[in-house]
Amino acid sequence: MSIRLDGKTALITGASSGLGVRFARILAEAGAKVAIAARRTDRLAELARAIEEAGGRALPLGCDVTDASAVRLAIEEAETELGPIGILINNSGVTISKRIVDCDEADYDRVLDTNLKGAFLVAQEVGRRMIHHGLEGRIVNIASSLGLRPLSGLALYAASKAALIHLTKSMALEWARFGINANAICPGYIETEMNEDYWRTEGGRKLLALLPRKRVGEPRDLDGILLLLASGEEGRFINGAIIAVDEGLYLG
């Protein structure tokens, strides 16, 4: 069975690099019109050109997800150009690798504002519009396996993703009656352009040795679950699910 998203408009945040680029390409290949949002607009323009050269439709949007006014303006532009948003992939995120005693207030604000406040502001605005338009929408929040089980040195990131998991469940409860499904994907270790060098270091090799299959995932390992949760019919009975995609990282 091939999942198609023809005629749908999707918004992907954090689309200038890493998983966001992959998510935008996959949704576009499935037929969705994609609004791709991030602060780095030069990277967005390159991605939009690549999608359109492949026959898709893409709209790059400069947007700081921590700014409510910027979020509202970007979503208004997306809906004006592409139509009402029926799919949201809330993917913006940052991390800081520090022990708790070494974190300062600026570190806290940067991580929590982007990973939690930003996800809240975007989902809130999109959710309001889905309800207004009477759309049976799909919201997919990109959390992390660290939101299920934290590791030392990543407290702020883990806390933000744990909170995002519970925010997802609250969205699912509040918006179910409107036909809006909210779910979260919790990726494990996925190799992207941002971390690929790390896996060649001594620390990276030591971590690899601790993983169930001694390997990290690839962005394409998230394709299937992303399309399922973004779909109209195929995923219609999945709501409030928190799905770990990590090869059973914490089962042992």
Please provide the average confidence, as pLDDT, over all residues in the chain.
95
What's the pLDDT band for 48 if we cut at 50, 70, 90? very high
Task: Identify the residue whose tokens are 């390997």.
Answer: 215
pLDDT at res. 151:
85
CA distance 87 to 173: 18
Which of 157, 189, 198, 250 is the catalytic position?
A: 157
Write out the two tokens for 145: 């396996």
CATH class, range 9-239: alpha beta
Q: Which residues contact 39 (CB under 8 A, 6 or more apart)?
A: 16, 62, 63, 64
pLDDT at res. 207:
84
Give the tens place of pLDDT for each residue, 125-143. 999 999 999 999 999 999 9
What's the pLDDT band for 206 if we cut at 50, 70, 90? confident
Does position 252 have pLDDT exceeding 80, yes or no?
no
Catalytic site includes residue 157: yes
Does position 192 have pLDDT exceeding 90, yes or no?
no
Does position 110 have pLDDT exceeding 80, yes or no?
yes
Are 34 and 22 contacting, i.e. CB atoms less than 8 angstroms apart?
A: no
Does position 1 have pLDDT exceeding 70, yes or no?
no
Average pLDDT over residues 90-114: 96
* Rg from Cα positions in the chain: 17
Helix (H, G, I), strand (E, B) or coil at 245: strand
Average pLDDT over residues 226-242: 97
Give the tens place of pLDDT for each residue, 160-170. 999 999 999 99
Q: What is the DSSP letter of 218?
A: -
